Structure 1
Amino acid sequence: MSNKVTVVGSLNVDTTLRIKRMPLPGETLAAADKTSAAGGKGANQAVAAARSGAQTAFVGQVGKDNGGEMMIKGLQDNGIDTTGIRENDQVGTGSAAILLDSDGQNSILVYGGANQQLSVDDVTAAQQQIAAADFVIAQFETPQAATLKAFQIAKANGVKTILNPAPAHEIDPALLKLTDLIIPNETESASLTGIIITDETSMLMSAAKFAQMGVRNLIITVGAKGAFYCTQDGYNFVPAFKVNAVDTTAAGDTFIGALSSQLKPDMSNIEKALVYAQRASSLAVQKMGALPSIPTHEAIIAASRQ
């Protein structure tokens, strides 16, 4: 049986500008290429889950505009249930401008738009999709009040919650107490715990700090190095697969979505699911774009056999 995953989150139209290097303050550079594609942390995570075989539903908000139509169609094309997405005729669909240099590193500017209007009422209206899931995933490109409501519905129905605290900012302590698994990168982890990630000791200290805040299961992603996990059953650092990255956009989102498709709700197979997620992420960074780069289950399995 495949996992059922509901994502509460952001929907952005991504515009990517390819440049040789990042501009200096006051400097004008020519872009070699410009592309537009569906993206946003929420959409990326949902598509990654769906392409890895999870039955996926989405709760979010778009503008009543071309961008909104594009986002909904993009999700539907991946078999995602979009009945939990509301169209807002007052605010435009979220968007992101991505500067991508020749080394595959990016800088991203995000306009929240309709994402920032996602309300407690929107989430309540989608409680059926939340209650039916094995996992509910949320990030911080939509208001925390909406996420808190989603996690409250999840916990009332025995659904496991995954929080990706990105972009990092202060978290409502009540939200952390409702979080079963938190997945920050090393920068986000440091900003939330005050502990800089340097080695295994600092990672274990971070896990202890998150446990104090109420989150007992942790994965810290450390870019091209790999990922650390800590649950009540144990901990380990799992190295990443070595690849030549051309575009790191959506790498972390692919990891989270793919993980949610494979992880058992009791977290008993976390290392196996994490290796699968890292394989998915390693394939995503070898292609351009956010949604277009996210691999299917078949591609991930094929890469695992090589």
Structure 2
Amino acid sequence: MGEFVLRKDLAVSATGLIKNFGGKRVVDGVDIAVPKGAIYGVLGPNGAGKTTTLRMLLGIIEPDGGTRTLLGHDRPRDASDQVGYLPEERGLYPAMRAKEAIAFMGALRGLDLKTGRKRAVTLLEAAGLGHAVDTKIRKLSKGMAQLVQLLGSVVHQPDLLVLDEPFSGLDPVNQERLEALILAERDRGATVLFSTHVMAHAERLCDRLAIIAGGKRRFEGTVADARGMLPMRAHYVPVRDDAGIADHLPADARHDEHGWNFEVPDGGVEQALSRLIGAGHGIAGLSIERPGLHDAFVRIVGKAALEQAQ
């Protein structure tokens, strides 16, 4: 593990975080560096140590080793009023109305109730929940209640928003609303740190991400960095697909009902295409693309970890 420099441009930083539970090491030397104003994802399968890492960063639990800084504070809880936090375990008072629940959560972070109620109405309307302003939490769907709790995490306009598996249990409509809210918070100037085991959300949202598996950080960088660890792949559809075509394709080429798939050679596809045209197979279709984050995740942590993430 190398040296980790704490910088003023980081909202959250940590070096060598370690946590043991019951004699088992669940977080093993994790480094985190979250730039101010970024959306940063902590990606990994269930049980990877993501929640424990976030709780150590926030000062909810103390690490058994390592150091961390939150918004410039060596003691993370000193920055609590500047932080919005959505824990993995959801919880709201069921008899409260949505507007009051949001204002109450803001009051816990130092926001006066009058301002909290006003902002709550604005937030609910922006999230497509204006009709639920005075609805009691017990009468809301699970997804709507989860969004209300999230709005309560941002009503005091925190500098840092930390979301633990925020998409869990949401239907596609509410997932879109949540993604829009995360982008809006980033555009407001907040830093957003969230954990997830669903790669699609990380791929769409994250400026940077860390991949954690087995309590260790296996990767840190941009989505493009992760995808760039794998070579591009080509999908080729010939005009004439008959015996002998494989002789003109790279050795790893595999045939399916739609054509041929193969890894783009270091020198590009031009030589293979020239051979195919010269042999009379022609080109009916050709596409070249970089593998997605899903494929990079498999390469980084292995298929066993991916199966855990499903």
TM-score (normalised: structure 1): 0.29
* Higher Rg: 2
TM-score (normalised: structure 2): 0.28
